[in-house]
């Protein structure tokens, strides 16, 4: 249990202002893009545990789901996660303690909703494990 608590120390808790499905769908359109091939790699995911909501970088999910996972989350990954969280706050989708997410200018691509079906979204984390097949 101590390892779990240590991992959770680096989580950013958020308060949802919209349905969680909107957060999940929006996060699926934010990440690293290969514009030439129209492939998007989402960076962050919604995670809920013990009645608390979090936005996590996908590498944090690996740590959470596999205790023996290699912790290779970098400062750049954390800054990217914070940029995503800050955007969600700017769009009035979540509330968050801004002390935990100093805005960074770390670039993340936001795929417009209207273009969503023209792109391939490739997850680096198996989202079926996170949301279940019925929720994706």
- Please indicate, yes or no, if residue 102 is contained in any of the structural domains: yes
Tell me the residue range of the domain where 72 lies. 2-129
Give residue-wise pLDDT tens across range 4-57.
566 667 788 999 999 999 999 999 999 999 999 999 999 999 999 889 999 999
CATH code, 12: 3.30.70.650
Distance CA 68, CA 92 (A): 36
Mean pLDDT score, 79-98: 91
In a domain, residue 94? The reply is: yes
Whether 90 maps to a domain, the answer reads yes
Q: How far apart are alpha carbons 46 and 53 in whole angstroms?
A: 7
pLDDT reported for residue 7? 63
User: Distances in Å between the alpha carbon of 84 and those of 6, 50, 64?
Assistant: 23, 23, 20
CA distance 124 to 136: 15
Nearest alpha carbon to residue 10 among 76, 55, 51, 41: 55
Is residue 105 a part of any domain in this protein? yes
User: DSSP letter at 26?
Assistant: H
Structurally, how many domains does the chain consist of?
A: 1
Tell me how far the alpha carbon of residue 56 is from its chain's centroid.
Answer: 4
Residue 136 within a domain? no
């Amino acid at each position: 249990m101590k390892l779990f608590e240590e991992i959770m120390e680096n989580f950013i808790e958020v308060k949802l202002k919209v349905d969680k499905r909107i957060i999940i769908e929006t996060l699926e359109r934010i990440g690293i893009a290969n514009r030439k091939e129209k492939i998007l790699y989402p960076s962050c995911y919604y995670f809920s545990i013990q009645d608390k909501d979090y936005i996590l970088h996908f590498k944090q999910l690996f740590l959470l789901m596999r205790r023996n996972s290699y912790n290779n989350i970098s400062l750049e990954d954390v800054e990217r996660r914070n940029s995503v969280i800050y955007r969600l706050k700017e769009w009035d989708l979540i509330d968050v303690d801004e002390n935990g997410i100093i805005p960074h200018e770390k670039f993340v691509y936001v795929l417009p909703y209207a273009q969503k079906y023209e792109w391939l979204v490739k997850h680096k984390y198996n989202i079926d494990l996170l949301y279940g097949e019925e929720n994706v």
